[in-house]
Chains A and B, each alone.
Chain A
């Protein structure tokens, strides 16, 4: 079975959250995600894209942020040529294993102050 999820978010909304709440970045993003964003002149744009991916993946799972799950457990990594992929950790990874998730594919884009992401999840059975 194939399931999809999509998310759209304002870059400024993410920027405001991070500015208003020191510590929010570490609660939502992994060290690698923060480091990747901080290499850009527009870190909020990269972080908004990553937040949208996390949301899109959890929507495709149909769980939202479920019991014991952490935002950092859906981690967005860029391959050398820039293509994003996700690594699942902790409770999210255990959920994916229980539901026999065999593949998670994601795509993201930014324009006009918005970030959008789509996730497609393959479940075996």
Chain B
């Protein structure tokens, strides 16, 4: 379970990296959708998280966390939509998603746009618990 301190540090990192008002960085805000972060902003956020919490996460680690190490050909169907296996995993790391509504519709390359501030805080918590420092 993500502590308030971890969530606060992640939210501060996002605010500082993106230069957006703190009120906009709600836990449920999607980082690449609602907050319009780009790749370079993600790098900035992750470096700030490392400095505040001592947890090192590389940009590719985020893709691996979201995809769960599932090979591309199992994660996505022919045509690029996320498979049932992929959606089942996504529900574990992004519990806010509506699996039924996304079934057969979610393009694999759009998955990352559903990733929220809370999801990032949960990832940081998981990595800290795994001793990734």
Binding site for B on A (CB under 8 A): 9, 13-14, 17, 20-21, 23-24, 27-28, 51, 55, 62-71, 91, 95
A-B contact pairs, 11 of them (CB 8 A): A9-B40, A21-B43, A23-B47, A24-B47, A51-B40, A63-B109, A64-B63, A65-B39, A67-B63, A69-B60, A69-B63
Decide if A17 touches B40 in the complex (CB within 8 Å). Answer: yes
Decide if B40 touches A68 in the complex (CB within 8 Å). Answer: no
| Residues 51-85 of B at the A interface (beta carbon under 8 Å) | 51, 58-60, 63-64, 67, 69, 72, 80
Q: How many residues of B contact A (CB 8 A)?
A: 19
Binding site for A on B (CB under 8 A): 38-40, 43-44, 47-48, 51, 58-60, 63-64, 67, 69, 72, 80, 109, 112
Q: A17-B43, A17-B44 are in contact. Are A70 and B60 (CB under 8 A)?
A: yes
Decide if B40 touches A66 in the complex (CB within 8 Å). Answer: no
Q: Apart from A21-B48, A55-B39, A71-B59, what are 9 other A-B pairs with CB-CB below 8 Å? A: A14-B40, A21-B43, A21-B51, A64-B39, A64-B63, A66-B60, A66-B63, A67-B63, A69-B63
Q: A14-B40, A55-B39 are in contact. Are A66 and B59 (CB under 8 A)?
A: no
Decide if A67 touches B39 in the complex (CB within 8 Å). Answer: no
Question: In the complex, A9 Cα to B40 Cα: how many Å?
Answer: 9
Question: In the complex, A117 Cα to B46 Cα: how many Å?
Answer: 24
